[in-house]
Copies of this chain bind each other. A is one copy, B any other.
Amino acid sequence: MSEPSVASYPVDDTNRVKRLYKRAHYDQATVHALLDSGTLCHVSYVIDGQPYCTPTLYWREGTKLYWHGSSASRMLRNLSEGQPACLTVTHLDSLVLARSAFHHSADYRSVMAFGHARLIEDAPEKARALTMMVDRLFPGRTESLRPTTDQEVKATSVVMMEIEKASAKIRAAGVIDDEEDYALPVYAERIPVRTVLGAPEPDGRLLPGVARPAPLAGFSAGRRLDEALTEAYAASYPAG
Q: For A202, what are the chain B residues with a Cβ–Cβ distance below 8 Å?
A: 187-189
- Report if A238 contacts B (CB, 8 A): no
Q: Give chain A interface residues in 188-213, CB to chain B under 8 Å.
A: 188-203, 205-207, 209-213
Q: For A106, what are the chain B residues with a Cβ–Cβ distance below 8 Å?
A: 39-40, 57
- Of B99, B112, B187, B225, which contacts A146 at CB under 8 A? B99
Q: Say what secondary structure dominates the interface of chain A.
A: mixed
| Known A40-B92, A88-B54; contact A100-B186, beta-carbon cutoff 8 A | no
**Is A205 within 8 A of B193, CB to CB?**
no
As for how many copies of this chain the complex holds, the number is 2
Q: For A54, what are the chain B residues with a Cβ–Cβ distance below 8 Å?
A: 88, 112
A136 shortest CB reach to chain B, Å: 11
Interface string of A35-62 (1 = CB under 8 A from B): 0000110111110011111110100000
Total interface residues on A, CB under 8 Å, equals 92
Partner-B contacts on A (CB < 8 A): 14, 18-19, 39-40, 42-46, 49-55, 57, 70-71, 84-88, 90, 92, 95, 97, 99-102, 104, 106, 108, 110, 112, 114, 130-131, 133-134, 137-138, 141-142, 144-146, 148-149, 152, 155-156, 174-175, 177, 181-203, 205-207, 209-213, 216, 219, 225
